[in-house]
Chain A
């Protein structure tokens, strides 16, 4: 039996590429396997966020005026800035992946650092937004108070408005958690790259992190109009 294995090895043209695993025919197949594997995880993430988006869709359909009134508590400028920050971070991540593919280590590290800075900026802005909500007693729970100070002509009931903020904190909180996880993964990648570890000589780890990061960006692209850009009559 072992002689058969040796026979197979002799006949299969092994490329001089140390990154090719023994279970793959060639690099194209290996690359595709990694990419499809990462997309499988991203599909589960779509399911994860999809459920919350469905809850949002249901409650917004049922109580459109409540959502319209409650969303005025969110500042479009913060949301738009966050969206621009994340889109820019996606761009720098794509550049980092390109640099990994073309073996330009300095640009790869630079792109990764810039992406991480954008992620931190996103979290800081998100922190300011959430702090404002805590101040205005808009956090769901016993301290929730509706209408917020300065808002005299509110006709929506407080419990329905609380639903908007439940969804707001749940969805942006889950998204922020994903940003933090992405940041941690990028820190690990950065350390490996700086130490010139052989683990990241292959471009695929950075590419897969890039796919995750772009997905996080896509989720925010949908969160932004749904929470910040609710149209008023």
Chain B
């Protein structure tokens, strides 16, 4: 078996993978942004803001931004067809619908029982 390097000119046909090749600098910028957000979220944890709501919003907000960067750029959804975009979005929209069902659970009129109620 010959140990030839992958020389594009040696391939029997013209090379076109029909993929939208995302330039590497996009990945590098995305990675740097993710690291900055990572630093920000840990910093925000150690310098806790006064209200719990603000802390939660900051931590989860940064997580959402990180996830969006990973989905759009690393997973190339930004450069994909609209169908792919719909598939990706639907998954997360479904998740929001699922989380909305917590309103059922927390709005139940629990009968307070001594020893069980928090």
A interface, CB within 8 angstroms of B: 16-18, 26-28, 31-32, 35-36, 39-40, 42-43, 46-47, 50-51, 53-54, 57-58, 61-64, 66, 76, 80, 83-84, 87-88, 90-91, 93-95, 98, 101-106, 160, 196, 202-203, 207, 210-211, 214-215, 217-218, 221-222, 224-226, 228-229, 231-233
Contact = CB atoms under 8 A, between A and B. Distances in A.
Could you tell me the dominant secondary structure of chain A's interface residues?
A: helix
Contacts, number: 157
Contact of B19 (A66, A87, A101, A232): A101
A105 B118 contact: no
A56 B105 CA distance: 13
B20 to A, nearest CB: 9
Interface centre among B42, B62, B73, B106, by most chain A C-beta atoms within 10 angstroms, is: B42
Contact of B18 (A31, A39, A61, A232): A31
A57 to B, nearest CB: 5
A203 B84 contact: no
Interface of B: 1, 5-6, 8, 11-19, 21-22, 24, 27, 30-31, 34-35, 38, 41-42, 45, 48-49, 52, 55-56, 59-60, 62-63, 66-67, 70-71, 73-75, 80-81, 83-84, 87-88, 90-92, 94-95, 98-99, 101-102, 105-106, 118
A221 B59 contact: no
Contacts of B87: 36, 39-40, 43
A217 B34 CA distance: 12
A43 B63 CA distance: 19
Given A225-B41, A231-B59, A87 B34 contact: yes
A224 B48 CA distance: 16
A174 to B, nearest CB: 16
